[in-house]
Amino acid sequence: MGNLTLRQLRYFDALSVQRHFGRAADVCAVSQPALSVQIKELEQTLGTTLFERGHRQVRLTGFGETFSERVKDILRAVDELEDLARAADGTFAGRLRVGVIPTIAPYFLPTFVGAMSGSYPELDIRIREAMTERLIQELSDGQLDLAIVALPVSEETLTERPLFDENLVLVRPIAQAGHPLPTIDELREMRLLLLEEGHCFRDQALSFCNLQTAVPRDGFDGSTLSTLVQMVGAGMGVTLIPEMAIPVETGSAPVCVDRFEAPQPKRTVGMVWRKSNPLADQFEKVAVLAAKMA
C-alpha cells in the first residue's frame, strides 16, 4: 500500500460531507478534476472503492462509511496539533471557523465580526450558518472551532459559555396595535406561525406557549424569521421573534411588536467549543468580547 496524504484525506472528508464532486471541490478551493484525481488515487492506494458514483450524487460505500469515521478523527487531531502550536506561540491568528444558528446570524454577526477583526486583525474568520444539530456535529467532528447557539446544548465534550439572555417578543398585524396583549391561553388559540422543524427557536416558542410539537397545527412553518414576519404583515397570524431581530425584520412589514409582562419568555445565547481544543483560553477571551455586545 502506498502512502496516504493529508490532502487526500481532506478531499475525501469534503466529498463524504457534500456528496457531490463540484460542491466538494468548491469547499476545498480546487478544481473538480483535481479533486477527482486525488480521490481516485486514494481508492487505488487503499485497494477498494470509497464512493458509489451516481449521476447527480455520490454515496459512501460500506467501507467508506467506516473509513470516514477514522478520517474525521485524524483530521481533528491534526487540526488540534496546529491549534496547539498556535496556542504555544502566544498569538491568536490564522483560521477561525465559527458556526452560528440562523436566528442569531443576521443580527449578531456584523457586530461580532467587526469586533473580532478589530481585536484580532490576524484572524481569518470563516462563518458557517446552520441549525444547532448540524453545528454541534461539525464542532464535534473538528470542522468548526466555535459555535454561537442557544443554550443549553448539553454535550459532555463541549464547553458552554453563556453570553447574554434575550427576550422573545410577539409580532402581530399592525391592525392589532394597541389591542390588549393576549394571555398564554389566548395565544395558544391563535394562529401561531413558527419556524420549520429543526430550528431550536421553534421549540422555544412552543415551550413558552405550552404547545406540544407533535400536536397538528393549522399554521405556517417558515424557514426564516423574515418570512414569518412578512406573513404576519399579510394577516396570516402572529409569531414570536428574538429581540435582536426587531430592527432588521419589522421595518418593512405592517406589523406591531409587543413585549410580554414579567416573567418574559427568553433564550440564552452562548458560545460552545470542544473541551479538548488547545485554544480554549483564547476562546474564553472571545466569549468575554462577545458578551459585551449584548
pLDDT, average across residues 160-185 = 93
SS (H, E, C) 146-207: EEEEEECCCCCCEEEEEEEEEEEEEEEEHHHCCCCCCCHHHHHHCCEEEECCCCHHHHHHHH
6-81 and 167-266 in the same fold: no
162-166, 199-203, 215-219, 274-278: which range is least confident on average? 215-219
- 167-266 CATH: 3.40.190.10
68: which residues sit within 8 A by CB, 6+ positions away?
12, 13, 16, 60
- Predicted confidence at residue 83, as pLDDT, reads 76
- Fold of the CATH domain 6-81: Arc Repressor Mutant, subunit A (1.10.10)
pLDDT > 90 fraction of the chain, expressed in percent and rounded: 62
The SS3 assignment for 103 reads coil
* Residue for grid cell 391592525: 175
- Predicted confidence at residue 215, as pLDDT, reads 46
d(CA 131, CA 134) in angstroms, rounded, equals 6
Q: Is 80 exceeded by the pLDDT of residue 101?
A: yes
Residue ranges per structural domain of the chain: 6-81, 92-164+268-291, 167-266
- Predicted confidence at residue 209, as pLDDT, reads 78
- Predicted confidence at residue 13, as pLDDT, reads 92
d(CA 211, CA 259) in angstroms, rounded, equals 20
104: which residues sit within 8 A by CB, 6+ positions away?
148, 149, 150, 242, 244, 269
The pLDDT tens digits of the residues spanning 227-264 come to 999 999 999 999 999 999 999 999 999 999 999 988 88
The SS3 assignment for 131 reads coil
- Fold of the CATH domain 92-164+268-291: D-Maltodextrin-Binding Protein; domain 2 (3.40.190)
Q: Is 90 exceeded by the pLDDT of residue 146?
A: yes
Choice between 217 and 38, residue whose per-residue pLDDT is larger: 38
Look up residue 245 and give its three cell numbers: 431581530
Other CB atoms within a 10 A radius of the CB of residue 3 amount to: 6
Give which of 165, 201, 200, 170 is closest to 183, Cα–Cα. 170
